[in-house]
Chain A
Amino acid sequence: MTIAVFFGCSFIAFGPAFALFIFTIARDPLRVIILIAGAFFWLLSLLLSSLVWFIAMKASNDKDQQLQRGLLIFGVMFSVLLQEVFRFAYYKLLRKASDGLAALSEDERSHISVQQMAYVAGLGFGIMSGAFSMINILADSLGPGIVGIHGESQYFFLTSAFMTMAVTLLHTFWGVVFFDGCENRRWWVIAVVVALHLLVSGLTFLNPIYEGSLPPAYVILVSMAVWAFFSCGGSLQNIQQFLTCWKNDAGSEVAS
């Protein structure tokens, strides 16, 4: 519960997202707006799912611990489904806006491609999801206390930070893949994304047995990263070109 823990955990949890924001999003105003709107859509989905959970909780017996835990699990599942519904709704909105922009511009093309919008939207979802999960924990880590004093795990902050980072990046990749599936009408892709999201959230029910939740989440993260890379046009050839050109031109970087 020191400054070191605070900074360490915040950098672990938000470092990649922050870097992605600074290097790819901050310069383009349209992307910033799409990012914030994505965060807003995630927030809406959270609001609705909390409402449902709250009603269910209030309507049930307060004292029954098992029931409350069951309701919480139901709340989590419902929230995941609602997040994906809102992701789809955001896709529809962006599509319409993109078509509008393209119609108005001179060469009938939009300034921003669907893949870029998918990436930014996914990152928006991820940043908001991570922030809501982690910020209160980070604020608490600055104050006095001993982690796990009653016998719980002493790695609470660290595992929260790693899980937050995983979830943030996962949302980004899911966004890319999801939008790609919607664009090309491949509905099985959407089903897989929803299933994976449910899986990752479901695995967190195993906490504090962190071996059950963190490594699988990271395995899924890596596979999603590869899938997203290939779905938006990347290939082994691209990577090769990127690396060789980079070595050849000392000063310049070639985007693949």
Chain B
Amino acid sequence: MNTSGSEEEFCNERTSLMTTESPPVSSYHVETGISSLEDTQTKGRRPITNESNNREADHEGESVERDSTADSEDEEMSLKYGAKHVIMLFVPVTLCMIVVIATIKSVSFYTEKGGQLIYTPFTEDTTSVGQRLLNSVLNTLIMISVIVVMTIFLVVLYKYRCYKFIHGWLILSSLMLLFWFSFMYLGEVFKTYNVAMDYPTLALVIWNFGAVGMVCIHWKGPLQLQQAYLIMISALMALVFIKYLPEWSAWVILGAISVYDLIAVLCPKGPLRMLVETAQERNEPIFPALIYSSAMIWMVGMTEHSAVQQPSHQETNSDEEVGQSHHDNTEDNRNMVVPETEVHGAQSRTTSAVELEEERGIKLGLGDFIFYSVLVGKASATASGDWNTTLACFVAILIGLCLTLLLLAIFKKALPALPISITFGLVFYFSTDNLVRPFMDNLAAHQFYI
């Protein structure tokens, strides 16, 4: 089946890892009294990883004399918060992988051969190993060049402020994911478990699921519901890739995209880096609804609420438009943090304490979720060692994520989240499948324990 191109593109903003920061101080402050309080508060609570050029600029005046004492405090705070942030990402990544693995193991549709995407035109049903390898490398080249082109296109659109275009594309791709793919998924699950279902009920369920998803992701919604939707659409996307990417191509693509991620985020002229910097220059959060965010800004104090909500809400609307690019948009959707939810979270706090508290969170691009899940899903679908290989890849990816977050804490700027995890995952997949599996099988047969 040749699916339409949109959902295949990758928005590579997805694949970068960055910390959230609360909106700049200036947009919050209505009263000067509050602003000075917030300044002192935020001075003592700098986030672990800091993209906050804005914030620092605002605080410079007051920060000079507090620098020395605040530094050691910040370090300690950052390490204390570090572990919490790692867990805040472990949980959604684990959930996404569990959903994918459970589906792969039970619904046979996603492991059946069903054709290939137009982005991987070369077949792998060849007679010789060399030909197969060549075909998979060619497939990878095509896929990666499509990704590069789309990313550059997105950066160009963003630079020239074609927000409406991006917005439209993003909405289109999330529509497709939330309605069409979830309908297909539900259909396959019903087939697997032989459940009888009538169309009116199905239409109602899909309509509710999709509509609430669109609202949550693109507008406002409870943070946890939004996170759940982002995880679900990441899992759906990963399942599509697992089904339609041929075996060897999938592994080569995973390797190539982590190299690309590294280049795109770290090189000075890399598209993703330019994207991040442009967004920072314009003081806009990057692509809401395309990044998974674990943060919630708590604004306490009744009077500030309404004043605060408006500016940040408008900001996020425009960001949302920015975030919509291609079908990856769905990924974009995933990658984007939704400041709205942060704002929404603030709205729900109606206590009247005077202090301004911020819970800094961490953002992970949805593309990272997708590719982690693709790796683990492919491992569980194709490995003959079955569960051992899946478990090994799972642990490897989590450790890679942990290391990436450690680097994030040290370097304090946007980092690619794919390279370390995917490298570990690939190494462990191939070594567990080929080396550990025969060893463990022999041990289990004799009931030897190591």
Contacts and interface: CB of A to CB of B under 8 A. Distances in A.
Interface stretch (A2-10, A16-24, A155-163, A238-246): A155-163
A43 to B, nearest CB: 6
B161 interface: no
Contacts of B86: 29, 33
B435 A40 contact: no
B112 interface: no
Nearest to B90: A32
A39 B446 CA distance: 24
A90 interface: no
Counting chain B CB atoms within 10 Å of each CB, the highest count among A39, A57, A83 belongs to A39
A48 to B, nearest CB: 9
Nearest to A133: B449
Given A132-B388, A201-B449, A204-B449, A33 B436 contact: no
A75 B428 contact: no
B435 A50 contact: yes
**How big is the B interface, by class?**
35 or more
A135 to B, nearest CB: 4
Interface of A: 28-30, 32-33, 36-37, 39-40, 43, 46-47, 49-51, 53-54, 57, 69, 72-73, 75-76, 79-80, 83, 101, 104-106, 111, 128-129, 131-133, 135-137, 139, 156, 159-160, 163-164, 167, 200-201, 204-205, 207-208
Given A29-B83, A36-B398, A104-B75, A136 B448 contact: no
B95 to A, nearest CB: 15
B366 to A, nearest CB: 23
Contacts of B444: 133, 136-137, 160
A147 B441 CA distance: 17
Interface string B410-429: 00000000000000000010
Nearest to B391: A131
Contacts of A76: 443, 448, 450
Looking at chain B's contact residues, is the secondary structure mostly helix, strand, loop, or mixed? helix
Most chain A beta-carbon contacts within 10 A, residue among B86, B398, B448: B448
B402 interface: yes
Nearest to B73: A106
B396 interface: yes
A155 B73 CA distance: 58
B430 to A, nearest CB: 11
A56 B168 CA distance: 60
A207 B448 contact: yes
Given A50-B438, A164-B449, 17 more contacts: A29-B86, A29-B87, A30-B83, A32-B90, A33-B86, A39-B395, A54-B435, A72-B443, A73-B448, A76-B443, A79-B450, A133-B450, A136-B441, A137-B444, A204-B449, A205-B448, A208-B447
Contact of A139 (B387, B396, B435, B447): B387
Interface of B: 72-73, 75-76, 79-80, 83-84, 86-87, 90, 385-388, 391-392, 395-396, 398-399, 402, 428, 431-432, 434-436, 438-444, 446-450
Contact of A54 (B392, B439, B443): B439
Contacts of A69: 446
B436 A47 contact: yes
A220 to B, nearest CB: 13
A160 B448 CA distance: 10
A119 to B, nearest CB: 17
30 contacts: A29-B83, A30-B83, A32-B90, A33-B83, A36-B402, A43-B395, A43-B396, A46-B439, A47-B431, A47-B432, A47-B436, A50-B435, A50-B436, A51-B435, A53-B439, A54-B435, A72-B446, A75-B439, A76-B450, A104-B76, A104-B79, A105-B79, A131-B391, A133-B443, A156-B447, A167-B449, A201-B449, A204-B449, A207-B446, A207-B448
A159 B447 contact: yes
Nearest to B398: A36
A174 to B, nearest CB: 13
Nearest to B385: A136
B80 A111 contact: yes
Nearest to B388: A132
Contacts of A53: 439
A37 B439 contact: no
A83 B449 CA distance: 13
A37 B442 CA distance: 26
Given A105-B76, A139-B386, A204 B435 contact: no
Contacts of B387: 135-136, 139
4 smallest beta-carbon distances between A and B, as pairs: A29-B83, A207-B447, A29-B87, A50-B439
